[in-house]
Amino acid sequence: MDNLNRRTLLKLLGYAPMAAGFVWTEAEAQQAHHQAQTARQAARKTAAAFKPKFFTSHEYATVRVLVDLIIPRDERSGSAMDAGVPEFMDFMMAVQPARQTAMRGGLAWLDRESVRRADKRFVAVTDAERAAILDEISWPLRAKPGMSHGVAFFNSFRDLTASGFWTSKMGIEDLQYIGNTFVPEWKGCPEEALKKLGLSSPSE
């Protein structure tokens, strides 16, 4: 996907509008993460796999593959799957019936396109074949008119993956967000940051 990584994704989210079918409030996201975490812990205790409430087993397998293509594991943190994004998505979809058609239809489109090209569904094609499909729907301005449904789905799915990742504990740590931390003494902008910006401290 043109070396699309989580840093690039942050920039992309500033330019690409969120599709109405996948827009969530912060409260909804936090609730879904809480439910997903509870379900994951319960599954670990019983040594059972997480059982999705909305996705079919095949759809869920596709979601797991796709989220990790969007936000893979790197030297800084785990992947979207490690952060519990598939479980997050399942809870989101289960409680939002109006948004289910867009998700289910998009996953079906991805499978149809994979079968058309390689006679296999998305989870079964090679990494190169997956990349070829995603390259054609990742960038709306470059996409062919006939790929409009795939473009709309993938951009919405990518936004939802990002929302799930960066509202998770792992994602917040990845951003190194410290929140409203009390600062007893303000010493100005760190020297390292000033140098990176090509500036000098006021005392110089």
CA–CA distance, 105 with 120 (Å, rounded to integer)? 18
Give the number of other Cβ atoms within 10 Å of residue 72's Cβ.
15
CA–CA distance, 156 with 91 (Å, rounded to integer)? 17
Amino acid (one-letter) located at 28: E
Unique residue bearing structure tokens 């920039």: 11
Question: Exposure string (b/e) for 43-65, b if CB count within 10 Å is 16 or more?
Answer: eeeeeeebebebbeeebbbbbbb
**pLDDT, tens digit only, all 204 positions of the chain:** 444 454 454 444 443 333 444 555 666 666 666 666 666 666 566 667 788 999 999 999 999 999 999 999 988 888 999 998 999 999 889 888 888 999 999 999 999 999 999 999 999 999 999 999 999 999 888 889 889 889 999 988 998 898 888 888 877 777 666 666 766 777 777 787 778 777 766 555
Nearest Cα residue to 32 out of 177, 163, 153, 170: 163
